Amino acid sequence: MDMARYANTSQLEGLNEIIGQENATKAMELGLKIDNPAYNIFVAGDSGTGKTTYVLSALKMHAENKNDHKDWCYVYNFENSREPIAIALDKGMGKLFKKDMEKLIESLLDELKDAFESEEFEISKNELLDDFEIEKENLLQKIKKYGEEKGFKLKNSKVGMIFTPQDEEVDTTSEEFYKVKKELENAAIQIAYKIKDIEEDAKEALLDLEYEVGKYIVDPHIDSLLERYGHFEKVRKYLDDTKNDILEYVYLFYMDEEDLKEKYDKEHFTKYKVNLLVDNGLDRCGAPVVVEINPSPANLFGKAEYEYYNGTVKTDFTKLLPGAVHKANGGYLVLYVDQLLRYNLSWDILKKTIQQGEITLDTQTAIKPEKIPVNIKVVLIGNNYMYNLLYNYDPEFNKYFKIFVDFDNEMKKNDYNETRLANFIASYCNSNNLNHFTYEGVEQVVRYSTRITGNREKLSTKFNKIVEILVEGDAYSKIRGSKYVDKEDVLKAIKERRERFSKIEKKMDESIENGFTLISTNGSKVGVINGLSVLNMGEYSFGRPCRITVTTAPGSSGIVNIEREVEMSGPIHSKGVLILNGFLLENLAQEFPLSLNANICFEQNYGGVDGDSASGAELYAMLSSLSGVPIKQNIGATGSINQKGDIQVVGGVTEKVEGFYYACKKKGLTGSEGVILPRNNLRNLVLVEEVRNAINEGRFHIYPIDRIEEAIEILTDKTFEEVKSLAIEKLKKYSELEK
């Protein structure tokens, strides 16, 4: 570390920004600035790179400058009860509107009951009815008097008005009697119709009186609400419809509760409620940022609750519940791709929602709420595999997610980034009450960060791995009673983490030490070499030598990969073996046909093998077998080859070098041991202190090479031409025998 020295990180400023993701942050900023429904964002990167933390931070910052989100309500549709109406209100007004409607009904229930039970209403009602009773009585008296003039008495019965003769001895069979009676009955029928009309008029007049009284009570309340919400067109219409409905059913507002339950639907007053679907509140600053971790269709796009009533399932607009898309409307919706793709329907509906610009709340019943216009920026968080999967197999994906934010898992190792890493450590210690790190402690964290990348020129951006060392280093510093986390605490944290995952490694060490695994680290053998492999145990990996043996004989089978024959070889390893054949053809069999039976085997390998990093070691062993020149067993080899004999870079060189070092240590280091590796892999060596010291002190050796010729000379102490000549002689004999 070349940055300015400091005593400990308490002297450094904290860091409130993400490190080493310049390209990703540029893409994110662009995506957030483009206001276009097609420019939604896909954020990809390895776990622990801080992508989720950054995304939420960036969204929160941009959300502060957006203020066009609304409150959303569903209200009753008086024209079609099956299609509730969606109403948008300025943020914070939804709750007020809901409360105002509740107060309206509460007030009207009291005031209308008082009005219709008042003495004034009873007097007006009686006066109105008295006028109609007088008119009705006049008609009855008129027909009664007329009947008396004709000699008949008027009686009321269940079937109506009946005329009977006053003189009981009158001849009821005479034509004159019948004629007069018929005339009176016809007159009575006319009077009955007039009385019916009077009663209807009285009823209408009574309803008009009730309407006027109701209107007198209701209008001021509705007018007050119109003053507050009248500038919202849909609210204005809803209030007008509400007023008309209240006046139409005004008698329900003063009816006794028992009568109301018996004669009318108890849910009648539900229609005056407001379902506040989305409440953004008066005190919320900026647009909403919603993270949905379980994006089922219901959780994303809302649903309707149900209840059982008289044996049937019922729902209504008050039972509609919002989804994450409703809550994020006007702002940002964050989804995790691996969770989203578990719900095929959610993914399809999400694309449809973006395309149509509106949310469909699917209730799966006859009720069909009005669609709500949507304006959101969707941010998907996943990895590169998920991105490529969607890009290649969903033709609609690129239509709606045009911004790709790719988080790198490493950054350049330079003074600037090392300083920012130290600032990050200072910030994390401050916010999590950890002991601050000394300069030497930070140096070890930087080295650990480099080791994670496997490249001495890089630093890791997997900050979750670094945080683990910060937390555990802090614990060890407190155990030893120190105020600061020093180098020894960081090294102990790294060592103890390794110990916790090293059960398999220790068992393999015991197997080598006890001689169960046949590994030689001294002497020389023909056709035998120590190849180097890496075993991955979850987040933990370690290197181990593996004895590779090659046998050769006359024949025409060519090179036989024993692992492949028993289906323990991966395709890349099989490719590496086939490359050996190309090298032999060009370098050893130009003057005669190649006739060869060669068997290659990874001895005591029971778990399969893949990768081409052992192809170099396999070729060295094959040349040894053909030439009869023995190979030193104290030198391990890694590196892939091409058909021209160039040595190519491989992965895991740090673990391979350390693995061979520890194996040699178990067998007893003599100071002659070492590892052959590709020269271009030197930048990938980030070794533990013990191995570094052994190399620096000449007790262990690194042999970087570019060509196979260099490897042969190191392994055999002979020139490549000498070994090649002997191998060609052997192959000539094989060719002659084959003839």
Asked whether the beta carbons of 304 and 74 are under 8 A apart, the reply is no
Single out the residue of 402, 398, 406 nearest to residue 382, CA to CA.
406
Single out the residue of 332, 313, 336, 316 nearest to residue 324, CA to CA.
332
Asked whether the beta carbons of 152 and 166 are under 8 A apart, the reply is yes
Please, how many CA atoms are within 13 Å of residue 425, restricted to the half-sphere of its CB? Answer: 35
25: exposed, middle or buried (Cβ count in 10 Å: 0-12, 13-18, 19+): middle
End-to-end CA distance of the chain: 66
Q: Is the dihedral of CA 18, 23, 24, 28 positive or negative?
A: positive
Burial of 375-391, coded b for 16+ CB within 10 Å and e otherwise, reads bbbbbbbbbeebbeebe
Cα–Cα distance, 223 to 215 (Å, whole number): 11
Q: At what angle do helices 175-229 and 93-116 cross, to 10 degrees?
A: 150
Structure tokens at 579: 């490359």
Identity at 628, one-letter amino acid code: G
Cα–Cα distance, 55 to 42 (Å, whole number): 11
Name 217's bridge partners: none
State how far the alpha carbon of 575 is from the alpha carbons of 534, 559, 607, 609, in Å: 19, 12, 19, 12
Mention every residue, 6+ apart, whose C-beta is less than 8 A from residue 610: 569, 570, 571, 572, 573
Which are the catalytic amino acids? 613, 656
Asked whether the beta carbons of 1 and 442 are under 8 A apart, the reply is yes
Give, as one character, the DSSP assignment of residue 283: S
Single out the residue of 292, 432, 272 nearest to residue 350, CA to CA.
292
Please, how many CA atoms are within 13 Å of residue 566, restricted to the half-sphere of its CB? Answer: 12
Asked whether the beta carbons of 77 and 85 are under 8 A apart, the reply is yes
Cα–Cα distance, 379 to 348 (Å, whole number): 16
DSSP H or E stretch at residue 213: helix 175-229
Alpha helices in 373-462, H assignment, sequence order: 384-393, 397-400, 415-432, 439-453
Identity at 300, one-letter amino acid code: L
Structure tokens at 55: 């995304």
Q: Please list the helix, strand and coil fractions of the chain in percent, rounded to the nearest 5, in that order.
A: 50, 20, 30
Give, as one character, the DSSP assignment of residue 369: P
Asked whether the beta carbons of 108 and 126 are under 8 A apart, the reply is no
